[in-house]
Amino acid sequence: MTAVMSHSDDAPSRYLVRYGDREFQYRLSTLAEGKKAAIRVHVHPNGEVEVEAPESASMPEIKAAVQRRARWVLKHLDDIEERTRHLQPRQWVSGESQLYLGRRYVLKVINDSDQRKVTCKLIGGQLRVQGKDLSPERAQGAVREWHRNRAREVFQRRLDLMVEKLPWVKATPSWRIIEMQTQWGSCTPDGAVLLNPHLVKAPTKAIDYVILHELCHLEEHNHSPRFYGLLDRFMPDWRGVKARLDRHAELFLSDH
């Protein structure tokens, strides 16, 4: 099959790929310091396709790289569609499950006319939300805040432990949590680490992988062979960890 590519008129930063009788769009990101980096194609957990290319790469080179990966991209998009097809909207009522560090806990919503302030606590195998006049929206808000609070504690602890293992990081960098639609984490140009609070629903090993990934960017700013060499050195099984994280991304990112 041959992939035919054209510029998408309704989104100037996006390009359209036709592969046989199918098509998809991708967003092109230019790596400012990526002259040594290869052109890489990513399919994010929400189905967005991103192509990273060094500044030195020409459009014909970029198009050829995407063409070689078109079948791979479509397979991943099909897998995402299949996984999300069976997800049911949450009702935020007792009996539903909530994820935390890779484990499922039963949600217990307790209406207490004497308790004006809504609380959320993990007790045994239950995540208990308790308060007066608990609507689904109030229960959801309480669980979201609980996850964010746990994320701050867990991420700080895992960051500190990871920093101890990496020779190029002398102290825990500044960091904050921020919800992202297509990324588990990010590293800003000034070296701050951003982490998605939904990541706290994933197993600890997955959290460590994302943190390591971002800390490796402090040493190697692009996805160069040296960057992946650092990942291999400090987490030899990172590819399997990433695959499992991406495979369950819809569950971890779902909050509705």
Q: Per residue in 97-117, pLDDT tens?
A: 899 999 999 999 999 888 889
Coil, helix or strand for 152?
A: helix
Q: Per residue in 231-250, pLDDT tens?
A: 999 999 999 999 899 888 87
Domains of the chain: 3-84 (no CATH), 97-253 (3.30.2010.10)
Q: Per residue in 35-75, pLDDT tens?
A: 456 888 988 877 888 898 888 888 999 999 999 999 999 98
Which DSSP helix (H) or strand (E) runs through 83? helix 59-84
Measure the CA–CA gap between 83 and 85, rounded to whole angstroms: 6
- Average pLDDT over the chain, rounded to whole? 86
The answer to whether the CB of 192 falls within 8 A of the CB of 7 is no
Measure the CA–CA gap between 173 and 219, rounded to whole angstroms: 13
The answer to whether the CB of 37 falls within 8 A of the CB of 95 is no
Q: Per residue in 120-129, pLDDT tens?
A: 999 988 999 9
Q: Which residues contact 83 (CB under 8 A, 6 or more apart)?
A: 247, 250
| Average pLDDT score over residue span 143-148 | 96
The answer to whether the CB of 176 falls within 8 A of the CB of 76 is no
Measure the CA–CA gap between 150 and 101, rounded to whole angstroms: 10
Q: Which residues contact 52 (CB under 8 A, 6 or more apart)?
A: 29, 31, 34, 37, 39, 40, 42, 222, 223
Measure the CA–CA gap between 243 and 118, rounded to whole angstroms: 37
The answer to whether the CB of 130 falls within 8 A of the CB of 110 is yes
pLDDT score of 10: 40
